[in-house]
A and B are shown apart, each in its own frame.
Chain A
Amino acid sequence: MILKHYFLILIFVCVGFVLDAKEAFYPVSEINPLLLVNANSVVRDSKILLEIHSERKVSYKVREVITVLTENGESEGVLYIPYDSNRTIDIKEAVVYDKNGSEIKKFKNSEIYDQRYFDGFSLYSDARFKRITPNVSNYPYTVLYEYTIDLNGIIDYYDWTPIDSYYKSIEQASYSIRLHNDMKVRIRENNIDDVEKKDAEDDDVQHSWELKDQFAIEREPYAIPIYEHVPTIMVAPTEFSYFGTDGNLSTWQSYGQWIWQLIEDKTTLPDERIQFLKELTQGQKDDLGKVKAIYNYLQQETRYVSVQLGIGGFEPLSAQKVDEVKYGDCKALVNYMRAMLDAVGINSYYTLINAGKTAEKIIPDFPSQDFNHVILCVPVESDTVFLECTSQFSPFAFLGSFTDDRLALLINKDKSHLIRTPKYNGNNNLWKSSASVVVDNQGNAVVNDTVLYTGLQYEFIEDELRKTTEEQIEDELKEGGINGATYKNISYTSEESQLPTATRIREIEVARYAAKMGDRFFMPVNIINQSSTTPKREKNRTYPFRMNLSYSDVDNVQMQLPEGYTIEYLPEGATITSDFGSFQYALKADGNTISYMRKNAVNAGTYQPEKYADFVEYMKKIYDADNQKIILKKL
């Protein structure tokens, strides 16, 4: 009897296990319907554990369960892990389930795709990636990934950003940090209103966060970057070890010291180069002149080649090596420039920066390795100039939208500190045009115009400066340009001044500038500088919106009408002002000529969501004003 009972119990246990194993794995039916709204994918459960054993032994243990709801959410179901020689990736589990939670496929190790990572600009780097693509046709489906990333040292911890993209909702996500051997980290919490801090599970767990039931965010036009409003936990090291070198990131000054030791002994130049540079700068009366002369030499003699090697891409090639091969990445070229200035007795500073038009901002009171580029800072008598050393064309001391107006880390032995790069204001970024349009009695016109570009508006045409007339015409034709245009001439010139400035002059014959119909002509008010797009309407704007560039355009056009015609209709003109800028246009007829004036000033800024409808209306008004027609009639 007892035996029998045992047997029964055993059977029950077995059945229990079988049932358990067969139990539906995160069936889609269990998702809160509110989390499906606007969602392409749902994070069902994400658990990330950061374990720090020592400066040289760090690991991430990750378990993610994600439901892909639609084809557009597919990339959220793909496992993609970049790595390099400093990291080992171990994928322990990769399983795909159907919507009911039944297993469809389990990936074997041999099915994991592994390839070199091409960033599009590096000629050589050791970066690689592993990828698993589920390739499931029936939506929704659910993926489970379990993996670990082991690092032999770390300088830049991954941020925890559970909502890292649009159209993705969160059922549950958690992040814990376990610190062994009294290791220390610094933590920064952003936008954590919805994040719940949890108690320690054991003595080693110092920190734990959990995020639940977060709705998907819809992408909105003119959006501020998503990282500015989603919950983020940033972690940065104090003491760290990276590719065998030790450093400390608790202050900008200490981080600067680590960078310093990677570059300090790399400025030796061959004697003949030093001699050459002294001769090159001999005639210059001040330091600014010398810096210009050497920068010019750098632009002539070297080129940018990205070779990401050495201390995980932190250690530049020596000045000696660059002098020999005449190429390098940003670090190597900045270091080379520094060495050359050094040779003529001018101090300059290797400066780390986060480049890019919408790059994430450096947080002054949270030192971390969030830089991706290096420029050179040179204090001279009158001013401080910043040099972009990877471009052979960049105007002297012009940073442009790539590195302007942001914090950067100036490296100076034990005195490294943050500085701010120059900002270009709306009245620096100008477009000024004057044009004459002579219309003949067939409606064909000869257009002569001159445009002056200044500041950041110079960036729009800087490539044209180096092209031949033939190519400049080709570019104008390809980029939309004017229907029916035949270019008689085009030229670009640039002037040296405080801000980069260039002038474009065109002579164009435009067939059918004015459309003829019977006794009438339909003539555009403005083909020189037309706004061509309008923003999308948004019924429920949720997040603030932003315009990145402040600028100011002024146009003046003189139109000469064909003989024997009178003006039947002349648009009234308008002045529109708003928070986003001001727009004005006016037309004046005087005998056989019409003068047209247009002013458009745009204020960069971040605007609250309730202002968005006004913004659309404002932009639409400008669009309509630019697309007005003048109507002429035969006398």
Chain B
Amino acid sequence: MKSLLLFPLFLLIVSFAYCNEKNIKFGKVDKEDLEMTVYDKDTTAVAVVLYEYGDSEIEYIPNSGWRLSFSVHRRIKILKKEGVEYADFQIGLSKDGSYDEEVNGLKAITFNLENGKIEKTELSNKDVHLDDVNRYYQQETFSMPNVKVGSVLDIKYSIDCKAFFRNMRPWMFQHSIPTVYSEYLVTIPEYFMFRKFTLGFEKYASYEEGNIPVSKVIVSKSRTETRGLIDTQYDQNRIAFNCKSYHWVAKDMPAFKKEAYISTEDNYIQQVQFELQSVQFPGDQPYNYSESWESINKNLIEDEDFGKIAFGNARFLEDETNSLLAGVTDDAEKLAILYSHVRANYKFTGRNTIYSKGLRKTVSDKNGNVADINFLLAAHLKNAGFTVKPMVLSTRSNGMFLYPTVTSFNYVVLIAEINGKSILLDAADKDCTINELPYECLNGNGLIVGGTKPEWVNLYGLGNANSQFVSNIQIQEDGKMSGAVSIARMGYAAQAFRTEVGEFANTDKYVEDFADRNLDWDIEEHELKGINELNNRITQKLEVSLNNKSIFAGDLIYITPLIANSTEENPFKMEERKYPVDFGFKFKENEMVIFNLPDGYAVEELPETFNAILPESKATYLFSVQKIGDKQVQVVSNLAINQPVFQAEDYVALKELFNHIIEKQSQQIILKKI
């Protein structure tokens, strides 16, 4: 006889001490709220969330087991015509065929003030639509009836998340409209271990954690099997357990407004999230989801769709690896060959995930997601004798992670050892090269999987962009100018340029287009190199005649000092800033121009040298114009942004720096007829 299953079942009727702090009842709206015409704290608001209360809870439902439920009550005031769109609702629901999430108890009322009387219009069930978006996702949509400026909407529903415990929804205390009051309560029996994390730049009015002792009658069921006969026994016990509660109240949350140079909005909006870590019932083994970076590392190593592929057997590819590397002895060359092979022959489907469909399937499909492609490269590299490990990360648009959760990761790259150095590889994104990650990956830290303990790589400090513009220009006696311009782009500047050129069918088309759209230049020659090469340096060499860079007036010629890379617009115009400025990488933009003066002319006046250094050399700018003998003028403009992220405190200085750059660059070189 062997025991097959042991289910401890809990009958649980918990009535919590909490009720919402504001004591707002659904369907009872204050006249004041209806009379309100403007939200004093933000007069631009088109609508405002007057009140919202959310509740996530795991409870036991007889005959169906443990369930996660989420309920919400939200009250919204419409202040302007543009705000009526906040009366349209979409609720996303997971489905997996047998267990679909369900919306229950949807009630929604529009309140209007008509001649001093409160008028109610209820949402009718037949105006609620539920439909499948795709195989895994459903959507319930409805529009509130009778909505106009002045309306107050009251909406209440709950979602039965069934046993999708991992679907505890993030709660946003902040929206694109201001929120007067937002309260969130989470209640979790001690058998479920979650980890919470919070994000945002605002403060909570209150936050409490608590323990609620619960004493319950439990029915436990045990099943035994003897030679195919199943015997079920029920036992009743009374046990005591604790529920852990988390309770936030946020007041007067401002509307979330996007700023330039931020990663994804989700990194900035005030919110809390819960991640399921493990489930353990008394007398039972814990079932771990994830709990620490150590276990994530370990679990990923053992994962069928991750470690088993990344570290698994790749002998079926050995012949291919060997034939690709036949006769090659140099390690760097071997690595380049394998990297190029995978990049050229396997199509990236554009899907970001850390889980692979398997090497054989990838090889036969000739395409795959980022994990498929990079694991295939890992296999070839291992066959060739390299030490290689996968590194998981969260892309910029996927947001940051603060706590150990495997679901935070959506991208996987490789870290390989070569000649005692570690280099990073991504064969999915075709615009980057060896030891360079796509710009999207420059977010937080990357976790290297496969060691005995987790190892981290800081992705922010990783790369930089470097552009150099060098020109040698002859000025003619009539003020016309022509000469040679050479441009070199390295690092992320090269990557971005590669993406730009990639929009064209080929580089010739790019060169043609460059000439066509650049009306200030007549281009006689244009040589573009390095686009398709692995070395990370793209160069352009041009012979040009310049239109409109000089003013010819009587005895004087005025000349704009920069030729190829002048800054004409300040990227920062707002007076202040709330969030950090996130460039993603450090960068340098250097330009040098040599002007050869026409016969019979001499320098009348030159712009003064300007040198700006932000505190701690976070950014520097040097602008200098010097005479070289009597026949030449040399212009130098060097901008260095020395850190990828600037805190909001540095904003004003950064903005001012760019104002100076623009001013200096609009000053002129003045020549005079002798």
Contacts and interface: CB of A to CB of B under 8 A. Distances in A.
Interface of A: 38, 40, 70-72, 104-105, 113-116, 123-124, 126, 133, 135-138, 167, 299-303, 305, 307, 324-327, 392-393, 466-468, 470-471, 474, 477-478, 480-481, 483-486, 511-512, 515, 517-520, 522, 534, 536-539, 568-569, 616, 620, 623-624, 627, 629, 631
Interface string B325-369: 000000000000000000011111100000000000000011100
Interface string B661-674: 01100111010000
A325 B145 contact: yes
A344 to B, nearest CB: 21
Given A138-B345, A537-B516, A116 B605 contact: no
Contact of B149 (A138, A300, A512): A300
B366 A104 contact: yes
10 contacts: A123-B129, A136-B367, A137-B366, A302-B148, A303-B84, A392-B84, A518-B605, A522-B666, A568-B556, A629-B551
Contacts of B133: 115-116
A615 B563 CA distance: 26
Interface in B232-288: none
Contacts of A71: 502
Contacts of A307: 143
A481 B573 contact: yes
B566 interface: no
Given A116-B132, A327-B147, A629 B558 contact: yes
Nearest to A323: B146
B143 A135 contact: no
A624 B560 CA distance: 14
Given A114-B134, A468-B43, A522-B666, A137 B347 contact: yes
A104 B367 CA distance: 11
A569 B519 contact: no
Given A520-B605, A569-B551, A137 B131 contact: no
B208 interface: no
A478 B572 CA distance: 9
Given A72-B505, A105-B366, 16 more contacts: A135-B366, A137-B346, A137-B347, A138-B366, A325-B146, A326-B145, A327-B147, A486-B575, A511-B659, A517-B607, A520-B605, A522-B668, A537-B519, A569-B553, A623-B519, A629-B558
Contacts of B44: 467-468, 470-471
B148 A116 contact: no
Given A135-B349, A477-B574, A123 B517 contact: no
A317 to B, nearest CB: 10
Nearest to B87: A303
A519 B608 CA distance: 12
A629 B142 CA distance: 57
- Main SS at interface, chain A: mixed
- Main SS at interface, chain B: mixed
A299 B149 CA distance: 11
Given A135-B349, A537-B516, A124 B146 contact: no
B616 interface: no
B664 to A, nearest CB: 8
Given A136-B347, A483-B662, A627-B548, A326 B366 contact: no
Nearest to A471: B44
Interface in B128-170: 129, 131-135, 139, 141-143, 145-149
A525 to B, nearest CB: 12
Given A124-B141, A137-B345, A627-B548, A301 B148 contact: yes
B338 to A, nearest CB: 15
Contacts of B631: none
Contacts of A72: 503-505
B477 interface: no
B81 interface: yes
A303 B666 CA distance: 50
Nearest to A124: B129
A129 to B, nearest CB: 11
B513 interface: yes
Interface string B566-600: 00011001110000000000000000000000000
B565 to A, nearest CB: 17
B440 interface: no
A468 B80 CA distance: 11
A393 B517 contact: no
Given A303-B84, A520-B670, A167 B141 contact: no
